[in-house]
Amino acid sequence: MKYKRNYKITEEQASFGVTYKIEMWDEYGCKRTIYERTVELATERIYDFWEETKERKELNDSLSNCLSEMYKNNR
C-alpha cells in the first residue's frame, strides 16, 4: 500500500525559545516526529528523511521477515 509523503511544521514556544516540531511521513506510511531550532534545519531533516525511504523500507522488511521466521520456528 502506498501513501503520500507529506510533512507538517509547527512552531512551538519552549523554555529556551522557539522550536519547530516537524512531523513527516514517507510513501510507506512511516512517520517520524523531530524538533529543530530553525526552519532551515527542519527542511533539511525532511529531505534527509525522504532520501532514506528506500533504505528504511528494506531494513524494516528484513526485520519483519526475520521476526516472522523466528516466530514460525518457535511454535
Number of Cβ atoms within 10 Å of the Cβ of 46: 20
Which of the four pLDDT bands, split at 50, 70 and 90, describes residue 41?
Answer: very high
Mean pLDDT across 67-73: 90
Say whether pLDDT at 20 is over 80. yes
Residue 66 has what pLDDT? Answer: 94
CB of 21 closer than 8 Å to CB of 10:
yes
Mean pLDDT across 18-41: 95
Residue 49 φ then ψ, to 5°: -60, -45
Residue 14 has what pLDDT? Answer: 87
Beta partners for residue 11, in sequence order: 20
